[in-house]
Amino acid sequence: MQADLKNLYSFQGHFTFDLHDLAAIVLRERQLSDRRFNRARLLEICEGETATAKLPVTAQPIWTSFKQSNKTGFCLGVEMNDAGEPPLEMTEFFDPEMRLPPGRAPLTSREKEMIYWRIRHHDSGYVLCEVLQQVLDSLPKDRTKLRIRTSQGHTLTELSPDAFHIAEVAMVPKFCTLTCVIQPRLEGYIDIKEHVFGGDLQPIPWVYLLFGDSSVADEDPAKDGRVMFDLVSPLLGMQGLGGELFSMERLADYHDRVLPTGGQEVINYNDPRSAAHEGYILSGRIQHVSSPELIPIIQDLATRVLKRLSRIAEGEESYCSYCGRRDSAVLKVQETKVLWRCLSDKCMEIS
Ligand SMILES: [Zn+2]
């Protein structure tokens, strides 16, 4: 299977990819290919004891029996016979009549982005890590380099695309989330799909990629130059230190400043036991983690990303480095650095 993926990258010359851009492209392709929520609109957000108005009376116990005090409920609706339609864009995701908890101010555009990905990243941590693993391991090492610049200005250059480990910590999330997707089936009948995250407040495995080789690693976290890359941060309510919808930060910054905003590590990574037990664990690659039904999803996403990277290296594709859209009208926004943004208000505002 890896051999097949390698053939998708047909560019023969040398090219350097920016990890930040790769994140935007992976997230965009995930948006387009993940079918679980692709036609769902957010109808209601509930918090704590707020009652839900969108679940049918007979289904209300789904929410009320969920006892954690720090709970958030999202009710999404899909219209009947809507399944084969193209995915909704983020701007269409929030129903104009969406109900918020009492007293809650209208959502800012940043809050909307965080909520959108908090819902859509459900159960996606290992999926996206495995996609990245397959993509990076398929790029030709002799002709491809990675460049990383964190929000705090820490830079790694000339990195081999396979210079990463898979890392895991055990996390107790700060909050739990119940997402219900309501879909009419026949006249008078509905299906409700429930997705629970962090429901029992037990430790969950949290997975990310750790970039950098032995030349930048150091036993002293303050000097360790390796960079961790977590694409699903909003699932724990976290964002990058520069406000990104993912985290790409030095190891110490991630563990000390990002992770605590989403929950509690069960064993601190400074604890020597972490290397051998629960807590901070490094592994070579994800193997046999995926459920069989996820394998085609992971392959499809890796294929989409590799084809795009090949076209980008060939100079055949322009893309927005914020939202990852391809071939949209883009503008070069910094003369000193190749940085492209599409002309949507949101993406230009970020630039
Ligand atoms: Zn854009």
- 337 Cα to the center of ligand 1, angstroms: 17
CA-nearest of 252, 12, 248 to 142 is 12
Give mean pLDDT, residues 10-26.
Answer: 95
**pLDDT tens-digit series, residues 215-236:** 998 888 889 999 999 999 999 9
- 174 Cα to the center of ligand 1, angstroms: 31
Instruction: Output the furthest CA–CA distance in the chain (Å, rounded).
Output: 64
The yes-or-no verdict on residue 260 having pLDDT over 60 is yes
Q: Which pLDDT belongs to residue 339?
A: 65
pLDDT band at 171 (very low <50, low <70, confident <90, very high): confident
Q: How far is CA 328 from CA 26, 67, 77, 349, in A?
A: 17, 46, 29, 16
* In contact, 247 and 239? CB cutoff 8 Å: yes
Give mean pLDDT, residues 268-288.
Answer: 60
- 206 Cα to the center of ligand 1, angstroms: 28
- 88 Cα to the center of ligand 1, angstroms: 15
- 347 Cα to the center of ligand 1, angstroms: 5
- 308 Cα to the center of ligand 1, angstroms: 16
The yes-or-no verdict on residue 277 having pLDDT over 70 is no
d(CA 57, CA 230): 39
What is the 3 state secondary structure string of 302-315?
Answer: HHHHHHHHHHHHHC
- 64 Cα to the center of ligand 1, angstroms: 39
- 45 Cα to the center of ligand 1, angstroms: 27
Give mean pLDDT, residues 139-168.
Answer: 95
Quickly list DSSP for 18-59: EHHHHHHHHHHHHHHH--SSTT-EEEEEEETTPPPSSS-GGG
- 315 Cα to the center of ligand 1, angstroms: 18
Q: Which pLDDT belongs to residue 326?
A: 84
pTM value is: 0.91
The yes-or-no verdict on residue 337 having pLDDT over 70 is no
d(CA 332, CA 105): 35
**pLDDT tens-digit series, residues 47-89:** 988 889 999 888 888 898 887 778 999 999 998 776 677 888 8
Kindly state the percentage of the chain with pLDDT values over 70: 87
**pLDDT tens-digit series, residues 179-196:** 999 988 877 788 999 999
**pLDDT tens-digit series, residues 58-67:** 888 889 888 7
- 339 Cα to the center of ligand 1, angstroms: 11
d(CA 45, CA 25): 29
d(CA 100, CA 50): 10
* In contact, 123 and 130? CB cutoff 8 Å: no
